[in-house]
Structure formats: structure tokens, C-alpha cells
Amino acid sequence: MLNKTISKHALGLSLIAGAIAGAFTLPAQASSHREAPYVTRQPKTDATDFYMFRSYESGRSGYVTLIANYIPLQEPGGGPNYYAMDPDALYEIHIDNNGDAKEDLTFQFRFNYQNKDTKLNVNGKQVSIPLIINGASDINSVNSAAANVRETYSINVVRGDRRAGSRQPVTNASGGGTSFDKPLDNIGNKSISDYASYANKHIYEVNIPGCQGTGRVFVGQRKDPFVVNLGETFDLINIKAPATAFDPNAERAATDSLAKYNVTSIAMEVPVSCLATSTEPVIGGWTTASLRQGRLLNPSPSNGGASKEGGAWTQVSRLGMPLVNEVVIGLKDKDQFNASKPSGDGQFADYVTNPTLPLLVQTLFSSAGVKAPTNYPRNDLVAAFLTGVKGVNQPANVVASEMLRLNTSTPVAATQNRLGVIGGDAAGFPNGRRPGDDVVDIALRVVMGRLCKLNIGCAPADAPAGDIDFTDGAYVDSSMFDNAFPYVKAPLAGSVKH
């Protein structure tokens, strides 16, 4: 019933938006790129975005796709080493399928980096080459002889507590192996003439212990799917003042600062029945990265590597819902949030119930008459960020905690609306997140009270600006992505062959 109510109301809002106040251009920040002080020192463990949605590739609606992106702001030409994952880190995707804020299923990824040490005969001496390719041929196959390095990974599925639960390996459906190859980054068109074809050879069908049916996995470099205007935002909101009349071009007015960068995606496609229980269709998900507590730098790196890692795993990155650590959590607690678990989110409750962002928006645009919502505590934001929205993606029994929640019983949308649920598309954000969901525009409108207009957690009168179609000016929709796994576009090339 709520889905129909939202669809009807969203349509009404779209019709009257121009008559209300027009579109206001607001600042936004990357979903989780360099969002906390410590993780800026560990970019290989920096989760940039997390996606979780019913697969919309033809014939795959019985699956859920999970995509965890890492290593922000990858310059395509950033050689000679490019952007390998950290072999000393533990990357994880967690699933809570009973609403208790604890993981019930965890996919753990570990990486290995091998230097093949190709040598050339230089005047009778065998000398190691300085590049990750040897120029022997165009690279077009898995573990090509033309590659001087090989990056592989393994996957374990853990049931129960991620540290103490039962652990079993995910295996290749073809042959049963437990090691998977990751493609080289997109060095350039001369080295890898058809990168999309080459990368697709690294999509594997996999058997997941305890699950019926095969899944799929891909890990590799992709074009960064997030769009945002970073430079002007960080320069004291150095953007054009919002228009006082409706501007149909406002949603496309900003420059996408990430348009020329790549990220690394960990993508899995998993049967719905593997993730959700028979009695609870709503699942929660988040991704983390952890490092060992101890690190000893080696003063003689040629003898055993540059450092020695040891001790217990310590979580240094966490991402579920987009933009939370970026624009909700206070600066002093950003590292703490990255180290925390959803079950401990009570310590951050004030940032959601008494948020600062709406007051900052009010201050920035006070001359235009913008006012922050007046309902405290902000129960509408509690629903959006901590419990899920009742009738959309809230579990029957839920512990308030920050994670991305997906109702796996919601059908795949025939046509995606970039505004997700508030745009009348029940299969979109915040009911999970698809690459084409414009989470910045959605989050801005929700933070400024859009849910109050739907009587979710507050009343319409509580949100004077709740009808305004706020936008950051950086446009994204489903047409910018592929319609097949792993959905995110192939990465930009380091160079173009002339």
C-alpha cells in the first residue's frame, strides 16, 4: 500500500515542483571517497561505493548483485604499478538477513600479487624489466604470457560471526578451483586492444557452499560510477547561487569531477535464496576492509618484502548507505565510524536524529527562503538510514543500525527511475541501490524533509522545504551503465593507441 502511496505522491510532486520554488543546486561530496582522516593514508582499503540490488540483466531477476568499490580517484595513466588490491588486507561484504544488526553471511576476499620477474638479455646479462607488461604481445587472455605480474584472489563464505563462524571456500563452477584471476588495469589500447572483452574473460560462475544454484563473481578495474562536482564544493561552496525559478537544466548543470577516474570493483551475483530467509525477504548489507594490527617496516625490502604484517584484524573502512560518513557523521567520529559495526550504531544516533546538514543548507540558502525541517528527533531520517521504511524495506524485527537494506521480494523495475522510491520506483534507492540511482539528489531531498510530505516519521508541516527538488547538479541514471553483470562500465584507458 505504501509503495502505491509513494508513487502517487511522487507524481504529484513532479507536477507541482515548478510552481513551488524551482530547483536549488546544492553541494555534494563523493559517496565515500577519502571520507575519513585515517583511510586517506590507506587508499587500497578505502571503500568508495556499495551497491545491492535485484539483478536486472535479462533472465537474472532471481539473483541479487553486490558491488563494493575500492581505491578512489584512480588516474587511468597511473603506472607503472597501477592499482592492485592490498594482499595484506581483508575485504568483506556482510549480509544481515534477520534484522538484528549482525552479519549472518559474510563474503571474504583475500588477494595475492605475484611478480613473474620477466628478464631481458642486455649484453649478456639477464635484467629484470621495470613494467607490469613485457610487450611480448597484445594482452587478451587470463594470465597472459605478456603480463609481468599476476593478481589472484580467493573467496570464503562465513556463516555467523565473521571471525568465529564457519568458513568455507567459494569455488569455480568450472573445475572447482579456489583461486580466481583479476585482470590487469586498463594500461592502454596498445597493450590491451579490446579491454572489455579481456575483462569479461574474468567473470566466473561460482559455487557458494550452502546455496542452491551458481553465482557469479568479477573483480577488476571499472570506470568510477559515482558522479559529483568536487572542486567547487570543497572551495567554500563556490558554485552558482540557486535559481529562484524552476530551471530544467539544474540537474545537469555541474561538472562530474570523477568523470576521468576509475575504481576497483568487487562484484558478486548471488541467488536471492542464498541471502534472504524464507520468512524475511529484507536483507541488510555493508562492506568493510581490515588490516592487521601490527606492521613492521623492513629496512631491507629486497629481503622478504617492504613490511611484515601481524596480529588481529582491525577494521579501517565501512560503507553501507551512501554519504553517511561523508556528510552525516561529524569529523571527530569519522575514523570511529569506519572501525565500528552496525550493532554499535547507538553511539552515532545524534547525527541522524539531530543532523547538521539541513541547518547548513538553510544557512547557505537563507536568502532564497530555504528552511530546515523542524521535527526533532528526525524520525524520518531514522527510517531512511537506520531501520528501513515500513512497507518498503523494513524487516519485521529490526535493530536500528546503519546499512543498505533491500527488500528482495520487490520486483525488478521495467524502467528505472533515477530517484528511486521517491520517484515512484519501489525497486530503487533507498530500497537497495542500483548504479543508476541518483543517491545525492535523493538524499538531499530526504534530508530536507521529503518523507515528511509522505507522512513518514513526521508531518508535512514539519518540512517547509520538503517539496523542493534539491539537486547537486551532477546527473546520473541507468542509461550510463551496462544492463548485464557486472553493470559498471569498463575502465578508462591509460592511453589511446594512435
Q: Model's pTM, two decimal places?
A: 0.92
Among 216-225, 292-301, 391-400, which is the least confidently predicted range? 292-301
Q: Tens digits of per-residue pLDDT, 301-321?
A: 886 688 999 999 999 999 999
The span from the CA of 289 to the CA of 267, in Å, is 15
Q: 440 or 131: which carries more pLDDT confidence? A: 131
Is pLDDT of 34 > 50?
yes
Average pLDDT of the residues in 478-487: 97
Q: 364 or 5: which carries more pLDDT confidence? A: 364
Is pLDDT of 4 > 60?
no
Output the pLDDT for position 17. 32
Average pLDDT of the residues in 275-293: 97
Output the pLDDT for position 31. 60
Is pLDDT of 176 > 80?
yes
Q: 19 or 288: which carries more pLDDT confidence? A: 288
Is pLDDT of 379 > 70?
yes
Average pLDDT of the residues in 169-174: 98
Is pLDDT of 7 > 50?
no
Q: Tens digits of per-residue pLDDT, 123-141?
A: 999 999 999 999 888 899 9
Among 61-70, 199-208, 238-247, 288-297, which is the least confidently predicted range? 238-247
What is the enclosing helix (H) or strand (E) of 275?
A: helix 272-275
Average pLDDT of the residues in 465-473: 86
Nearest to 485 by CA among 152, 147, 67: 67
Other Cβ atoms closer than 10 A to 255 = 14
Beta pairing, strands 63-74 & 47-54: antiparallel
The span from the CA of 178 to the CA of 109, in Å, is 11
Output the pLDDT for position 177. 97
Output the pLDDT for position 30. 53
Match 572483452 to its residue by C-alpha cell: 197
Q: Tens digits of per-residue pLDDT, 211-251?
A: 999 999 999 999 999 887 666 555 544 545 455 445 667 77
Average pLDDT of the residues in 401-409: 98
50: Cα within 13 Å, side-chain hemisphere: 30
Q: 323 or 82: which carries more pLDDT confidence? A: 82
pLDDT band at 290 (very low <50, low <70, confident <90, very high): very high
Burial class (CB in 10 A: 0-12, 13-18, 19+), 371: middle
Burial class (CB in 10 A: 0-12, 13-18, 19+), 377: middle
DSSP-derived secondary structure letter, 491: P
Average pLDDT of the residues in 384-389: 95
Strands (E), 97-229: 105-115, 119-122, 125-128, 149-159, 166-169, 171-172, 180-182, 204-207, 215-223
- Rounded to the nearest integer, the mean pLDDT of the chain is 89
Q: 266 or 38: which carries more pLDDT confidence? A: 266
Output the pLDDT for position 300. 87
Q: Do the Cβ atoms of 110 and 167 come closer than 8 Å?
A: no
